[in-house]
A and B are shown apart, each in its own frame.
Chain A
Amino acid sequence: MAEMRYNVPNDQWPVHPEKATLEGRNKFVGFWTFLAGETVLFASLFATYLALKDQVPSQDHLVAAELYHLELAFVMTMFLLTSSLTSVFAVYHMRNNNFGKMQLWLGITVLLGAGFLALEIYEFVEYVSIGHTFRSSAFGSAFYFLIGTHGFHVIVGLIWITLLIIRNANRGLSVYTAAKVNTASLYWHFIDVVWVFIFTIVYLLGVL
């Protein structure tokens, strides 16, 4: 029985292991399609945010220019952008069939992502303590829904990559696990790109 071999010997390791099988190719196309949908999802969120920006019931509610700290947002951006870079390193080592280094860089990606998340939680706690909450105004609802949906994606990405690191720990690299890692890293890049837009449209435009 000519079973498909998932565990390819090192000298036959393909240049694009994630697309070496039909399932891998399907996953690649399917996930890009999913990301297209996610793009529209975030576009709808941005539109909602822009429509409701600074829409507060009365003068004593804080608005964007009084709330945002560019310094914090900048540090968060650095965390997330760096984590995108480290996930590229992970995929690079995956293509070279270097399992140990791939796991290492995935681990660093998770740590950087967790750092970003911690700062985001700090920011939210700070805002809530000065009265800017999900329920305080339409502006608050729109702000937390947009940033929170992104943050939720970060959490999902962190759990996803962590589970991959653990589940693959004693499976090693195969064209089957390579496709999984590649998909997760695509997702992670997407989260990053969305954050770039958040930084520009929410924070930068917010303080101007």
Chain B
Amino acid sequence: MAQVKGKKAGFGAVLWDYLTTVDHKKIAILYLIAGGFFFALGGIEAMLIRAQLAIPNNDFLSAGLFNEVITMHGTTMIFLAAMPLLFAFMNAVVPLQIGARDVAFPFLNSLGVWLFIFGGIFLNLSWFLGGAPDAGWTSYASLSIASPGHGIDFYAVGLQIAGAGTLISGINFATTIITMRAPGMTYMRMPLFTWTTLVAAILIVFAFPPLTIGVFLMIFDRMFGSNFFIVEAGGNTIIWEHLFWIFGHPEVYILILPAFGMFSEIFSVFSRKRLFGYSAMVFATVLIGFFGFMVWAHHMFTVGLGPTANAIFALATMAIAVPTGIKIFNWIATIWGGSIEFTTPMLYALAFIPSFVMGGVTGIMQAAAPADYQYHDSYFIVAHFHYVIVGGVVFALLAGLHFYWPIMTGTMLSEKLGKLEMVIFFIGFHCTFLIQHWLGLWGMPRRVFTYLDGQGYNAANMISSIGAALMAVAVIILLINIIKTLVKNEKVGRDPWGDGRTLEWSLPIPAPYYNFAQTPLIRGIDVLALEKEEGDGTIPSAGPVEPIHMPNNSFIPFMISLGLFIAGFGALYFASGKPWAIDAVADLPVRPWALYVLIAGLAITFISMGVRSWKDDLGYYITKEELEADLRELEARERGAN
């Protein structure tokens, strides 16, 4: 129907297509662009932090602005960069990996991406509307209740909107992987990236609601006069810490598990071997997901929960190292004896092992509760989580970008520039964060905007800042690579790495909008490698060419998200100057129009939802004739290319 098929569609048509699309491959592009934008924004904030800390007694950023910058750096990177970029790869790859024509809920997929984009914009508009949030990405209640202006409210409402999108996407991917697998794609034949996506999606479903509640408590306290965190009225700020970390620790596994999944694929493709210990890998993934919910209080050892609680959480935390260790050894065994090809993704994967292990080791050190009294809130913690998040998640995102780029765009990034980028990023990363372990042990607290001369911190901070600049250089090389590749626009054919093992590499590039003309039949693990070994690499079909049922495009997800975005402003300014709000908000000027904005925004959202529910949306069919014509055209194209 509304598929833009023409080769030279006008800009308006393309824009409208992306605003209304429900195709997982196009939604992947939306996630990639928006996530990449926020990654750049978070990166600029990181550069500001390291510029401020490069020398002692610096006044490049004021103390207040510094707090805003570190808060927005953390919040942006976790919620608006890392997770959406992972969603980009999940959208691009997972349906193709399991032989599905789309995700289970294409409409909700589009709703998820637009909620994320509008939530992200909302959060970042705080910079222009009276100041950004400044209580850290963890936004502990004792700080956030006292924070002046609307900064924290932007954080709270923005995260609520973006978080709703994430929850929806989590439900969508869990359902997709459970119900949409092709015949023969049993659970124990699913590629590891699909498995880790499934577990991460389930973690999202269980981890985001506590954040939703925590953030609501904060919204109500700051803006609507409740007393959850107001100690004088019987409130308790520790509730926030619990709710935040019950979300927060699973969140780090939501990030790292899909990263593990991507590395598993990359190791096996570029070692030209089956993944070693597949079932142990699956088991370890599930176990990590399960344990992930029982360790949140390791972020709260110094709160004073008591020795019993601390001991239990310390032990549970250390236990997670076991399944993680299983994974590390399996990756090493996968490389062992393989015929290794040192491509950019493989280089990142190889660099990931030692880097991530170092982060794991410091994690175990922190898990020892008494020792953590020393490490807590020092630069040691900053070093730990950057080792796992950058050395794990960001390496995976960069590796995945190079690896899956052909599937997403039909072109191939330059390997020469890619390797240069990888080497510089790797050096910059260790240069920035290795030294921070010592800074922490020497006593430098985290989240301070400057430090005095003569404490022995000068050289280490300078080294760290130089490393950060190197990482920025690497990212710029990546951008140049991307632009050059897009301008050249040299199309590649099927299986561009030559060693693809899983179903997504069996498809023509670009994949047709219905993905599979015939439902594939999966005969084993690493199905493409199997069919290459036992035949010519064609995937058998589970049935004849039949009409395909497709979902309609829709503008409603955009409208629902836009409505919430508008309502967010209404709610925020409605509280300004109200006597019941927290002092910091009650002092602001009253905005009489705010209530109308709130009502208008909610009306847009609810009317859009009503329209969606009222109309029958039965989709449309691609006829057998259209499909056969497509297949003939594809055959001619591929013969022409050879």
Among B62-70, B204-212, B568-576, the stretch that binds chain A is B204-212
Residues of A with C-beta under 8 A to B377: none
Q: Which residues of B contact A51 (CB under 8 A)?
A: 236, 239
Is A56 part of the binding interface, using a Cβ–Cβ cutoff of 8 Å? yes
Choose one: A26, A33, A139; the contact of B234 (CB below 8 Å).
A139
In-complex Cβ contact of A56 among B213, B234, B236, B580 (8 A): B234
Of B455-463, B498-506, B616-624, the stretch lying at the interface with chain A is: B616-624
* Residue ranges of A at the interface with B (Cβ–Cβ < 8 Å): 1-4, 6, 22, 25-26, 29-30, 33-34, 36-38, 40-41, 44-45, 47-48, 51-52, 55-57, 134-135, 137-142, 145, 163, 167, 171, 176, 180
A29:B178 contact, CB within 8 angstroms = yes
Chain B interface, >50% SS class: helix
- Which residues in window 186-218 of B have CB below 8 A to A? 202, 205-210, 212-214, 216-217
Query: In the complex, are the beta carbons of A30 and B172 less than 8 A apart?
Result: yes
Closest to B580 in A: A135
- Contacts A51-B239, A135-B580, A137-B227 supplied; 10 other A-B pairs, CB < 8 Å: A26-B179, A26-B180, A37-B206, A40-B205, A55-B235, A55-B236, A134-B225, A138-B236, A145-B226, A176-B616
User: Does B209 contact A40, Cβ atoms closer than 8 Å?
Assistant: yes
Q: How far is the CB of B59 from chain A (nearest CB, A)?
A: 41
Q: What string of 1s and 0s marks CB contacts (under 8 Å) between B383-407 and chain A?
A: 0000000000000000000000000
CB distance from B214 to the nearest CB of A (A): 7
Question: With A30-B175, A138-B234, A163-B610 given, is the CB distance from A40 to B616 under 8 Å?
Answer: no
Q: Give A22 to B103 CA distance when docked, in angstroms.
A: 12
Closest chain-A Cβ to B407's Cβ sits at a distance in Å of: 24
Contact B613 A37 (CB under 8 A): no
CA distance A142 to B202 in the complex (A): 28
CA distance A134 to B227 in the complex (A): 8
Instruction: Provide the main secondary structure of the chain A interface.
Output: helix
Q: Please pick, from B179, B202, B217, the residue contacting A25 in the complex, using a CB distance under 8 A.
A: B179
Bound CA span A1–B172, Å: 29
With a cutoff of 8 Å between Cβ atoms, the chain B residues found around residue A36 in the complex are: 205-206
CB atoms of A34 and B547 under 8 A apart: no
- Given A29-B179, A33-B175, A40-B210, the answer on whether A138 and B104 have CB atoms closer than 8 Å is no
6 CB contacts below 8 A, A to B, read A26-B175, A44-B243, A138-B227, A138-B228, A141-B227, A145-B216
Set of chain A residues within 8 Å of B213, measured between Cβ atoms:
41, 44-45, 48
Q: Bound complex: CA of A180 vs CA of B171, how far in Å?
A: 18
Residues of chain A within 8 A (CB-CB) of B207 are: 40
Residues of A within 8 A of B580 (CB): 135
Whether A135 contacts B225 in the complex (CB less than 8 A), given A1-B623, A30-B171, A30-B175, comes out as yes
| Residue of A1, A135, A163 touching B547 (CB-CB under 8 A) | A1
- How close is B574's CB to chain A, nearest CB, in angstroms? 16
In this complex, what residue of B is CB-closest to A4?
A: B549
Q: Could you tell me if B171 and A34 are in contact, using CB atoms closer than 8 angstroms?
A: yes
Given that A40-B210, A138-B235, A163-B614 are known contacts, is A30 also in contact with B226, CB under 8 Å in the complex? no
Q: Which residues of A contact B17 (CB under 8 A)?
A: none
Whether B216 lies near A26 (C-beta < 8 A) is no
Q: Which 6 A-B pairs have the closest CB atoms?
A: A55-B234, A138-B234, A141-B226, A41-B209, A44-B213, A30-B175
A56 to chain B: closest residue by CB: B234
Q: Closest Cβ of chain B: how far from A58's Cβ, in Å?
A: 9
Complex partner residue of A3 from B179, B221, B228, B621, CB under 8 angstroms: B621
Q: How far is the CA of A142 from the CA of B229 in the complex (A)?
A: 11
| Other-chain contact of B228, A22, A37, A52 (Cβ < 8 Å) | A52
> In angstroms, how far is the closest chain A Cβ from the Cβ of B90?
16
The answer on a CB contact under 8 Å between B206 and A40 is yes
Chain A CB within 8 A of B451 CB: no
Contact between chains at B618 and A176 (CB < 8 Å): yes
